[in-house]
Structure 1
Amino acid sequence: MHNLFVYLHVLSAVLMGVYLMFPFLSMRIEALSGAAQVGFLNVLYATNRSGQMALVIALLSGGYLVSKSGFSVAWMIVAVVLFLALGGLTGVLGSAMRKALADDNGSSVKAHIGKIKKISVISGVIFFLLVTMMKFPF
């Protein structure tokens, strides 16, 4: 059972790896034109949703793994705070993308690009911290 949860946890972490690429991908939105922006933003939105589902799987499988291991309380608190921060930020990111995609012609994309780029960078940093903390627990 333990190996199954480790497998699920690692698989979800690999799927969430897209958050490391989001800052670079979101910078590309401005270089595209109207219809291409909408299409690219639709792909980013779908990718964000799959990353959020992977975040839930990682949280659940990680909860089981922590219950069977001897991590410090401080490590567990930091892990939960970072997971919740990443979940909240990716929710805000999805909301900004949904608002940017409100018009099919892409007229509202420009108003939300700045927010999407900022939140993508912050999400990437938080995910990097999460992976680093998981690899080197204290």
Structure 2
Amino acid sequence: MSNAEVAAKLQRAADGLLMPSESEFPFESVQWQISQQEPITSKKILEFTEHPLDVPVEVVDLDYFFRNVAVEKEWHDEQQKEDVKKYQKLVETIKSNLSDVQVYRVGRINIDVYIVGKTQSGNLAGLSTKLVET
């Protein structure tokens, strides 16, 4: 499967979902070409996304990142339960199409988020969104 096909599949899985924080933002697919042996690093993510190299980057686990939206709670209403299922499907789609997945949180307060992993062809693909945390 090509990078573009993986990116399109991830985008379809994320359609209609918003990442909740102090504001809500949609997900957008991302894809980058890298050389086969090149490791994914915070510095690489900053270069790919054209952020200054001194911007803080926090790397978190995929399940940890989605912990508040992909786990059903007793107090959820029907709509929230449906949303949880959509987020669970999104996480499953990410895991089944990408390897070495990491979530990169770039910046503070207005945070750019990149959920990135390697495709079968060895390139990078994933999703981006934004968080606002004051």
Q: Could you say whether these structures have the same fold, taking a TM-score greater than 0.5 normalized by the shorter chain as the test?
A: no
Q: Return the structure number with greater helix share.
A: 1
Q: Return the structure number with greater strand share.
A: 2
Report which of the two structures shows the higher radius of gyration computed on alpha carbons.
Answer: 1
Question: TM-score, normalized by length of structure 1?
Answer: 0.34
Question: TM-score, normalized by length of structure 2?
Answer: 0.35
